Every structure is written in C-alpha cells, then in structure tokens.
Amino acid sequence: MVGWRSRNNPNYWAFIVHRLSGLLLTAFLPIHFWVLALAIEGEAALDVFVKWTEQPLVKAAEVSLVILLAAHLTGGLRLLALEFLPWHGRQSTWVVLSGGMSIAAGLLFILFSYY
C-alpha cells in the first residue's frame, strides 16, 4: 500500500494543514463580515459584540485564528518556495520551520495582546 506510506511524510501533513487552515479561515469570513456590518450599524451594536469577545473561549478562538492565519501564510510561502526555488532534500526542514513560525506567531499574539 504505497498510498499509506506517503502519509507519514511531513510534506503530506503540511499539505493537510495548509488546506484545513484555508477551509477554516473561509468559514470564519462570514463572521468577520457580520462584525464589520455591526460596526456600520452603530457604536452600540459593536459595543455589545466587543463585550461578548471578552469571554475566555472567544479569546482562545482569537489565538486559534492567528495560528490558522500564520499556518496558512507559512504553508503558502513554503509552496511558493517549492515551486520557484531549486528542488532540495530540505523540504522537511521547511515544513518544520513553517510550523514553528505559525506557533511562534500565536504565542507572540498572546504575549502582546493579553499582557
């Protein structure tokens, strides 16, 4: 079963993370546009939403969103590097580097926004 062995490759998992992060970010867009519409409706409507966002679960979702954005960005940059740079055996290193940068972006977001 050649197909199952390829799933142990870091590049396969980078592909999965990039696609899932893109899907989850796409699912978030309607919520984002709804909040922008609240801002247009008036200050009172937006203030109610901003008050709701102070809940710990919403804060955790914000951090997750930043990590998803960073994962999608670094995954896209990895794909661009694979497409336009010479082929090397270092793709696994780029996968680990892109994952680390995603987690670092989330941690920096926590550091600068909550402390």
- Measured CA to CA, the distance from residue 75 to residue 9 in angstroms comes to 15
8 Å CB contact between 29 and 15: no
Residue 30 has, within 13 A of its CA and on its CB side, a CA count of 3
Residue 11 has pLDDT above 80, yes or no: no
What pLDDT score was predicted for residue 3? 57
- Measured CA to CA, the distance from residue 50 to residue 78 in angstroms comes to 35
Residue 114 has pLDDT above 80, yes or no: no
pLDDT in tens, 33-45: 998 888 888 888 8
> Which band of pLDDT confidence, cut at 50, 70 and 90, is reported for residue 1?
very low
What pLDDT score was predicted for residue 23? 93
pLDDT in tens, 46-92: 888 889 988 999 888 888 888 888 888 888 887 887 778 776 676 67
- Measured CA to CA, the distance from residue 63 to residue 77 in angstroms comes to 21
Retrieve residue 57's tokens. 């679960």
Domains of the chain: 2-114 (1.20.1300.10)
